[in-house]
A and B are shown apart, each in its own frame.
Chain A
Amino acid sequence: MLDTIVAPATPPGEGGVGIIRLSGPQAVDFLGAVFRGKVNVNTMESHKLYLGRLLTPNEERVDNVLAVIMRSPRSYTGEDVVEVHCHGGLQILRSVLDLFLNVGARMAGPGEFTQRAFLNGRLDLAQAEAVIEVIRARSERASRVALDQLDGHLSSEIYKFSAQLKQSLALLEAHIDFPDDEVGTLDLPHLLAPLQQISLQLEVLAGSFDVGRVLREGVNVLILGRPNVGKSSLMNAILGESRAIVNELAGTTRDTLEEQLVLAGFPVRLVDAAGVRDTDDPVEQEGVRRAREKATAADLVLMVVDGSCPLTDQDMLALELCQPDRTLVVVNKSDQAQSCELKLLAGFPCQVAVSAKYKLGLDDLSAAILEFFESDIISSGSEGVVVTERRHREALLLAGAALKQLMVSATELAPLECLATDLREALSALGLITGETTPDEILDQIFSQFCVGK
């Protein structure tokens, strides 16, 4: 019985539509668990798009989506395939992916969809070669990303865990394969203690994925503020090119605009929100509503105020949307006389003065943004070690789960070979990152530590 795999089918951070793809015998069941539409998933026709909502287990809406089922064997992989077309954007794709992982799908390995397509005879040679080329090209590009160093830290951390697991497994296997007079009596609590520790650390490390994601996929930085404080000018200044429409008339920027850029190695997605103010204009209201939503979802809000005039009610309204620890107040128009009452902003410790128009203070702004993310990474508690690959996070979670199972089984006095099965599973999960552990390696450890054999 094969498991059901899931992965985004569209690259992260691009396009207005994102596609999550599932393949495997439970693909339709998993869709049924999270999808609510007019038609029950079991009666959905193959290869036809259906509108519906994706809901969390608590019935909270994640997104409005189009779902399509491609039933076996008429699908890319030859298995039941489900595609969910949701709104683009990292946050949503991530949430949708999490939904499916939570109901039991497994994160697909690189090229796994193609591999399955092959196994089921759904791809001819030319197609398959092309796909493998693409996978190879993409991973080569990815390997050049300037995050190698952090990845190095990660793998050295995981090697440490892996070494401890190997050591424990060797001890366990020694007691299975050799009599007590050669290897001594097994002190099980002593064997379990470090594993318990590791199972916790694995969880922390898996949790750092959200920080790592910042590095891999980029962060959402939202530019927020009342109309006419210079948000679009600021965005252009940061981008160094004229992208957003800048106009003296309040409320020109009707919708949010997005730009991708790299700030000292960090990928950043810069979003310019519609000016926040109460207005009767229905278009504007919609823009304001979206700005509120974006402020909640953003990793960092650049809250822009006009330093040349006192704070207005509209400024205060915008400030209310911001969480102080995720907000950088940008006091614009530093080229003009300052009359802003900064003491009203005392709740926001991070402030930078700039002039978007004359491109003054932009270096300070970049530095402040960087500092924010760096402190975020350091505060993740993993000493700068972060997980940047979702596949790695899955591996860590799998390993952690196997260790937890081991603890449970140990308390139920399961025999050693069952505990060894759990430990092997944990090791092989970490092996997705560090490479497989062969039985010979374990035997090597036993022979180097114990005087065994007659």
Chain B
Amino acid sequence: MVEGYKVIVVGAGHAGCEAALAVARMGCRALLLTLNLDAVAQMSCNPAIGGLAKGHLVREIDALGGEMARNIDATGIQFRVLNTKKGPAVRASRAQADRDLYRARMKRVIEDQSGLDLKQAQVVSLVVEGGRVVGVETRDGLRFMAPAVILTTGTFMRGLIHVGLCHYPGGRAGEPPSEGLTDQLRTLGFSVGRLKTGTPPRLDAATIDFSKLEEQPGDLCPKPFSADTLSIDRPQVACHITYTNERTHEVIRQGLDRSPLYSGIIEGVGPRYCPSIEDKVVRFPEKDHHQVFLEPEGLTSGEVYPNGVSTSLPVDVQLAYLRTMKGLERVEIMRPGYAIEYDYVDPIQLLPSLETKLLRGLYHAGQINGTSGYEEAAGQGLLAGINAALQVKKRKPVVIGRDQAYLGVLIDDLVSLGAKEPYRMFTSRAEYRLLLREDNADQRLSPLGREVGLLTDERWQGFTSKLSNLERGKHCLQTKRISPGNYNALARLGLQNLKNGASLEELLRRPEIGIGDLDFLDVELTSFSQEVRSELETEVKYAGYIRRQREQVERFRRLESMEIPVDFDYDAINGFSAEVREKLKRVVPRTIGQAGRIPGVTPAAIAILTVFLRR
């Protein structure tokens, strides 16, 4: 029996790494257990971080003091900002990673972190005493004890890999699954379900004719994810684009009889937003082509990731359809694509702190909660780590609101609605989207990161200086005016005449004027960083909408501030229908606001609940 740890993290994927680092950085001794030390922070699917809504999550992780942003900045090989033609709230960063470098750097950071031990072991059960978890037991019979345990098992629990009609147990290609843990969780009373996800074959770069293909380069000035990163200096590599065609689709249709998805072998629910290529062909027969991004797996790797053709068809069909595509006529598969089914634990059984309701001290984060995506996992891992450490320190848990962060939306959705299919973040899931931008993630979350002890002094200074620059900039825009007689300036701005003159802020509200157009009117504006300038511009240009969203948030917060005690007795109230009562008891909402978001809980029920809360 090994003692002395405060928190044990099971699984060293994207959730587990963030969790363990947060715990150790908050001064609690942590143990990170993984099945395979060579697969720490492994990118099981595509070699990229960020993307729409996911880039937001990475920035939020950074604002709270997590590692993901720094890790991709240090190992990224192509950076792009997406949605540049759309508005500032939905612009998002994405970067291709060098898979090996990403993994190696994260492992190094973990190894270098004081107060954190990284060990290879397979956990087969939790050690439970008096309604709380007190440690874990490994297959080798070792017991590690700690007052808090975070499960981040990814796709490993009872993982089953499908390639065509063949299937075999595995947690990821080439790695064994983890058995035993879910059986115990079931015995403990957890409701466990089955989900499915998939990944495309990896291709041999030497067998691809890139000269035939359209190139997609990264941005000229790569923008880092982390506030700690000053600039990205590494040379960038390009991705390539090819397309499926009618012949591809025909080959796929021919192979459907050997698809585990269409022959009913796979029982787990797959993600609708990440359909396999056979799914796309069957469900959208009218589309005569689909785009495929060929993403390099790294600077030294010869493998290529074809984004858009994830599949569980037999290997011979995979090869046949790949070879119908332009540039891939002579392609060779290095690793076949596959689907994987795995156990997850319905997150409706969690508190918003990510602690389970059933077992005190036990936290779940990442795919075990039914989510998909590295960023979603990392965000949860970070929060679970923070809360496990806070519990050890006997402090109140941190709960992030829907009005505060995508991470808040993610967790509130999980614990209020549960998960029936793999959950991915979209910007449309956020009610207060205009306020949850990449550029203000630090304003939204860094005070919290600082409070729990995850932000360094240096970082905090950088943040406060950004705040004061924003204030100064705002003041500039509001006080500096242009007089009606300043014809020179008017002409430069392309304006006819201004009756009473205008402040720079008023000028900036005009759709045709950008902050750069105003530099000649006030040199102080040019002294600000690009980041501060663009945030100033956004806050002015969309002031009307931003104000409306702030008002919505105010209303939201009033309901969120009405807390419901965890031991509230729903049976004691006659006014509820049986359905409403059952739902409230299942979710155990933390606030009146959360109760209102549970499907099937009526406004009348909320009114009654409000009344009884005063008792």
Contact = CB atoms under 8 A, between A and B. Distances in A.
A407 B249 CA distance: 41
Contacts of A123: 614
B426 interface: yes
B90 A454 contact: no
A337 interface: no
B428 interface: yes
Contacts of A424: 431
Contacts of B599: 438
B607 A115 contact: yes
A424 B308 CA distance: 31
Interface in A180-197: 181-182
Nearest to A421: B545
A421 B272 contact: no
Contact of A118 (B427, B511, B611): B611
A362 B273 CA distance: 68
B608 A413 contact: no
Q: Which of B428, B433, B599 has the most CB of A within 10 A?
A: B428
A451 B87 contact: no
B551 A125 contact: no
Contact of B308 (A1, A115, A178, A454): A454
Contacts of A118: 610-611, 614
A412 interface: yes
Contact of B511 (A111, A177, A413, A425): A413
A51 interface: no
A447 B273 contact: yes
A129 interface: yes
Contact of A439 (B274, B287, B429): B429
A128 interface: yes
Interface in B259-317: 271-275, 280, 283-284, 287, 290-291, 293, 307-308, 310
Interface string A187-218: 00000000000000000000000000000000
Contacts of A111: 607
A426 B300 CA distance: 53
Interface in A403-454: 412-418, 420-421, 424-425, 438-440, 442-443, 447, 451-454
Contact of A176 (B86, B290, B558): B86
Interface residues of B, number: 52
Nearest to B409: A439
Contacts of A119: 558, 562, 610
Contacts of B614: 118, 121, 123-125, 128
A418 B291 contact: no
A417 B90 CA distance: 7
A121 B611 CA distance: 11
A418 B558 contact: no
A173 B427 CA distance: 8
Interface in B82-104: 82-83, 86-90
Q: Which of B280, B548, B599 has the most CB of A within 10 A?
A: B548
B555 interface: yes
A440 B429 CA distance: 8
Nearest to B612: A125
Nearest to B606: A115
A125 B89 contact: no
A111 B431 CA distance: 25
A2 interface: yes
A124 B612 CA distance: 10
Interface in A86-129: 111, 115, 118-119, 121, 123-125, 128-129
Given A418-B434, A443-B426, A451-B275, A132 B608 contact: yes
Chain A interface SS verdict (over half) = helix
A339 B322 CA distance: 100
B291 A181 contact: yes
B427 A176 contact: yes
B87 A417 contact: yes
Contacts of B283: 451
A181 B82 CA distance: 13
A454 B307 contact: yes
A257 B88 CA distance: 65
Contacts of B89: 415, 417
A416 to B, nearest CB: 5
Contacts of A453: 271-275
A173 B290 CA distance: 20
A357 interface: no
A265 interface: no
Contact of B87 (A136, A415, A439, A443): A415
Given A182-B291, A417-B89, A177 B426 contact: yes
Contacts of B308: 454
In the complex, which range does the number of interface residues on chain A fall in? 35 or more
B579 to A, nearest CB: 15
Nearest to B437: A417
A451 B434 CA distance: 26
B53 interface: yes
Contacts of B230: none
Interface string B408-430: 00000000010000000011110
B396 interface: no
B228 interface: no
B128 to A, nearest CB: 35
Nearest to B286: A451
Contacts of B542: 414-415, 418
A7 to B, nearest CB: 16
A443 B422 CA distance: 13
A128 B575 CA distance: 14
A217 to B, nearest CB: 24
A173 B428 contact: yes
A176 B428 contact: yes
Contacts of A2: 554-555, 558
B578 interface: no
Nearest to A415: B87
A239 to B, nearest CB: 38
Nearest to B420: A440
Contacts of B608: 132
Given A176-B86, A415-B86, A421-B433, A454 B611 contact: no
B615 interface: yes
Nearest to A173: B428
A119 B549 CA distance: 22
Interface in B433-455: 433-434
A413 B615 CA distance: 52
A150 to B, nearest CB: 23
A421 B90 contact: no
B43 to A, nearest CB: 14
A123 B613 CA distance: 12
A125 B427 contact: no
Contacts of A128: 611, 614
A179 interface: yes
A111 B433 CA distance: 30
B52 interface: yes
B310 A454 contact: yes
Contacts of A443: 273, 426, 428-429
Nearest to A447: B272
A424 B545 CA distance: 12
A451 B273 contact: no
Contacts of A425: 548
Interface in B297-350: 307-308, 310
Sorted nearest first, the 3 A-B pairs with minimum C-beta distance are A415-B87, A453-B273, A451-B284
Given A415-B89, A454-B293, 20 more contacts: A2-B554, A111-B607, A128-B611, A129-B611, A132-B611, A176-B427, A176-B428, A177-B426, A414-B545, A415-B86, A416-B90, A417-B434, A418-B87, A421-B434, A421-B548, A451-B275, A451-B284, A454-B46, A454-B274, A454-B308
Interface of A: 1-2, 111, 115, 118-119, 121, 123-125, 128-129, 132, 136, 173, 175-179, 181-182, 412-418, 420-421, 424-425, 438-440, 442-443, 447, 451-454
9 contacts: A129-B611, A176-B83, A415-B90, A417-B427, A421-B545, A451-B284, A453-B274, A454-B46, A454-B310
